[in-house]
Structure 1
Amino acid sequence: MPHRFYHAPPEPRCAPRGDTLTRIPFHRLVAPVVVAIAALLPHLLLPVDGAAGALRLAAGTAFWLALAWSAARLAALLLAHHPKLLSDLIGTALFLAALVVITQLVFELPATGLIATSSVLIAVLGFALRNTLGDIFSGIALGMESPYAIGDWIEGTENCAGRVTGISWRSTRLLTRDGVALVVPNSLIAGHRIAVYGSGAQGRYRAQLLVPVDATVPAGRARRLLLAAAMEAGRDQPAFAPDVVLVDVAQGQAMYAVRFHVPDYGAEMRWRDAVAGAAQAALQRAGLDFARPAREVGAGRAWQTPAAASPARLLGSIDLFRPFTGEEVDSLAASMAEVPLTPGEAVMRRGEQGDSLFLLAEGVLEVRIAGADGSEVAVDRLHPGAVFGEMSLLTGQPRSATIVALTDALAFRLTREAIDPVLRARPALLEGLTAIMAARQARNRVVPGSNRAVPAAPTREDILARLKSFFAIR
């Protein structure tokens, strides 16, 4: 699993010093300061002997504790935007220092005996609570470094990943993707590598899926198939930005890493499932499948070179051509020509005459139409199995859109001469062509970011009438 390790976020712009001090709620210091002043006066004015002396000692003790209280609260206010563990640590140190001062100055006791007794007690307690103390000191270290915050997705140890819901002295609380709450000791997290995936807009990172393909499949074709599948799976995810890399070839397998970006760690499994399903469908549509290691292939079974993209299989998988008989499909497939495309190459351009339609076998294409300023605007993407160019083929109209390859692609061209005899023999097939043409025309009328009026899409009846007229079918 890929990891995105923590990096410090950009520091916020500092506000003017006066504004920062104004935001600090100094009114929260009033109570401890009032208590300290109220305790200081009796400690200074009361006599040492008798009942007044006992009251004087109590006032002195209260003064130093109130003073430590005031300093701890001031530190908490000044460090409000830092981890709470840091302010808690400072507050604890201040109260311990106040106890030492009270022992020496108020009760006038020697500090050596107290230190010796405390050392023995600390040693006993430290041995008994060594695991807990280890968690606490690890929590202090994590609090000072702040490698993660509440809301971040992290992986602190193997098989221990989740969204941070709480951070305390002893432990970090996580909520897994399955909704299970975990309480992980800080020492366990601090002793391992921490992978921080972030949260919200900062949680986007790249994941990858390993796909084994038969090593006899050309690398260019395998990349084309898998990249088109990943782009189709993430078509609704902004900045999905997939790519495909060949990472290993062994035992008859070529291992490809399909890499893509996910919005946050919690959504990774959903996107991995979508990409894996699309990759499997793309390979099966091309007559391939996930490869198995050579040792799992039965003895005596010869390796077979996978067949190239089959136009007959492609025609049979498209709803538009499913009513055709097997003989008709074979006849059309035999007449189709391969059209290989490279990224940026146009398979057709808006306004030119055309006498063919295309079936996309592999890769991804982009549909562009005229925008408000006359420039071409992308309105759609075509994925394997798509049919395009049918309006010019079947009605004689000029091309209404420019189709450009986004990736390496392979299409098949079907000319009017090949389909004309079939349509004349079976006029009922025009109904299916009419439906897909009407839907495509309606979608291509939408121009993103433009408020200008566009001509209404032709109705199904109008398109059907044009088809019958063009092919002289009654």
Structure 2
Amino acid sequence: MSLDAFQASPLAQLVFVGVAGIVVWHLIGRGRPNTRLVVQIAFFAVMTAILIANGIAPQSFGGYGADEATALLVVAAKLLWWVHLAWAVIGFVRIYLVLDGRPREARLLQDLIVGLVYLGMILSVLAFVFGAPIGTLVATSGVIAIILGLALQNTLGDVFSGIALTLGRPYAIGDWILLSDGTEGRVVESNWRSTHLLTAANNFVVLPNGLLAKLGLTNVSRPDETHWIGLTVRVAPTRMPSIVVDVMRDVLLSCTAIVKEPPPVVALKGLDATALEVELQFRVTSPAQRTPARNEVLDLVYRHCKSAGLLLAMPPASAVAMADLPTEENAMPPQVTPLALIEAISIFSPLTRDEKAALAAATSSRAFREGDVIARQGDMLRSLMMVRAGVIEMRHEDKECGRLAPGDFFGETGLLAGMGEACTLTALTRVTVYEMDQHSFAPLLRDRPTMAEDLAQCLSRRAERVQAGAAQGLPQERSERAFLKAIRTIFRG
């Protein structure tokens, strides 16, 4: 076809613009969806303008005559126009749904409308381009739809359940949900047929929407991600309940894995001759933190109970004679001595029993009131202090980086390496510590030179844990080599 013939033929122009629109649309690529939509709408507008200007009606079928070339050109032009019309409608729909700002409903509506648009386009092409009897096709498709509906009953049930779940919005992508059958996890994908969960065990669970719609569902992520935990502790009734409550409050106060606001609660559940039941109610930042928080709380319950002289009660199902039960009059809880604390501290594990006993004999007791600043950041303590009772806050500049409870220790960097404290230490409750100075520790390092390497390694690991919770890096080098050099320098005499 010559250039003049092409310019005189609106059908040829229409085919050219339609094919060019498809080529440009594919060249743009999937990485720029907005540009693709604009191109679709622009090419459809040009094709519609050509139709209007030349009086061509694509929505009617009037036959094509005997000229096969002209008939083929008409079919191609109308077919391309209907395809671009469908794409333009889909483009408008996508723009509207993106601006609407509801991604889950947008995806559902987009899939529904896109399916309807393509179905309408196919029927329109059959009727207005090829002249097919639509009424007969619709009647035949109804019978086919009934057959397919019976064959795909379960699948269609999942699809409609997915529509109901999407419109009801009981969860969103990223929410942590708990089902009545015990399944729980974070929603990572939701489509027409199924919902995908990533569990705490890092397993991928695919739940059909039909099954999900029938189960009771708890959305743990709403109104926020914090998760409530209730932990029951049974304490032997050897002390007044008010004392037990105070000890359990110190347990929650010293725990770093739980949320402080809203504040945790200590609730008395019951009291009889065998036990005082106490429930510790607290929140964690997310369901994934439940196990670490439980572990820390149970560890602190043991340490604080031992520090306060409380005994844990026997299990309810155990058969114990009443004469064997501890009471306030006959309870003899083990005393927390300096030797017991020294044996619990990892940096003293290389020592023999006699060496630990010698260190314990050289310790002295010291007490702090609530609110006292025990040491400021950068201060160098000349003694190691082991927490006998109470709770101490560790704060690096303006950020809390940990808390100390009975059995913990501090001051080891000043005692052993001559370095300042990484954090400011403040007593949150009344605090009792056992103190050990350099003079009592120096003979051990002189008699056991290899012990300095073990101590340097322990101090380096402890400093790394403190630094991980600090807002900024620590001002001094706290590597294992630096600790070893400082220890040998201080105790070289």
Partner of 1:246: 266
Change (3 A) 1:63 1:386: closer
Among the aligned pairs, what percent are the same residue? Answer: 25
The Cα RMSD (Å) is: 6.0
- From 365, 369, 373, give the equivalent of 1:346: 373
Does residue 361 of structure 1 match 2:388?
yes
Cα offset, 1:367, TM superposition: 5.4
Consecutive unaligned residues of structure 2, counting only runs of 5 or more, are: 1-31
Change (3 A) 1:155 1:299: same
Deviations 1:8-49 (A, max 9, x none): xxxxxxxxxxxx9976632245777889989x6576584489
Q: Distance in 2 between matches of 1:451 and 1:347?
A: 19
Scaled by the length of structure 1, the TM-score of the pair is: 0.61
Matches within 5 A, 1:34-73: 44=60, 46-47=62-63, 67-73=85-91
Partner SS state of residue 303, structure 1: coil
Q: Distance in 2 between matches of 1:453 and 1:110?
A: 83
Matches within 5 A, 1:57-96: 67-80=85-98, 82-83=103-104, 84-95=107-118
Change (3 A) 1:269 1:185: same
Partner of 2:4: none
Partner SS state of residue 325, structure 2: coil
Aligned pair count reads 420
Cα offset, 1:414, TM superposition: 4.8
Q: Distance in 1 between matches of 2:432 and 2:364?
A: 10
Q: Distance in 2 between matches of 1:142 and 1:378?
A: 42
- From 241, 259, 281, give the equivalent of 1:257: 281
Change (3 A) 1:126 1:224: same
Partner of 1:15: none
- From 288, 295, 298, give the equivalent of 2:320: 298
Matches within 5 A, 1:168-207: 168-196=191-219, 205-206=226-227
Matches within 5 A, 1:394-405: 404-405=425-426
- From 155, 158, 175, give the equivalent of 1:135: 158
Q: Does the CA contact (< 8 Å) of 2:269 and 2:279 recur in 1?
A: yes
Consecutive unaligned residues of structure 1, counting only runs of 5 or more, are: 1-19, 469-474
2:280 is aligned with what amino acid? Y
Deviations 1:203-245 (A, max 9, x none): 95345362524153612113323543x32xx4xx9x8889643
Partner SS state of residue 79, structure 1: helix
Q: Does the CA contact (< 8 Å) of 2:392 and 2:404 recur in 1?
A: yes
1:72 is aligned with what amino acid? I
Q: Which moved more, 1:207-216 or 1:86-95?
A: 207-216
Scaled by the length of structure 2, the TM-score of the pair is: 0.59
Partner SS state of residue 298, structure 1: coil
Cα offset, 1:89, TM superposition: 0.8
Partner SS state of residue 174, structure 1: strand
Partner SS state of residue 491, structure 2: helix
Partner SS state of residue 285, structure 2: strand
Does residue 166 of structure 1 match 2:189?
yes
Deviations 1:301-356 (A, max 9, x none): 313447386234334434559656499579849x95573643x3334679999998
- From 285, 292, 301, give the equivalent of 1:271: 292
Q: Distance in 2 between matches of 1:361 and 1:58?
A: 90
1:143 is aligned with what amino acid? T
Q: Distance in 1 between matches of 2:436 and 2:86?
A: 90
Cα offset, 1:162, TM superposition: 2.8
Does residue 220 of structure 1 match 2:246?
yes
Structure with bigger RCO (C-alpha 8 Å, 6+ apart):
1
Q: Distance in 2 between matches of 1:427 and 1:363?
A: 31
Q: Distance in 2 between matches of 1:450 and 1:327?
A: 34
Q: Distance in 1 between matches of 2:366 and 2:217?
A: 51
Q: Distance in 2 between matches of 1:78 and 1:351?
A: 59
Q: Distance in 2 between matches of 1:388 and 1:256?
A: 28
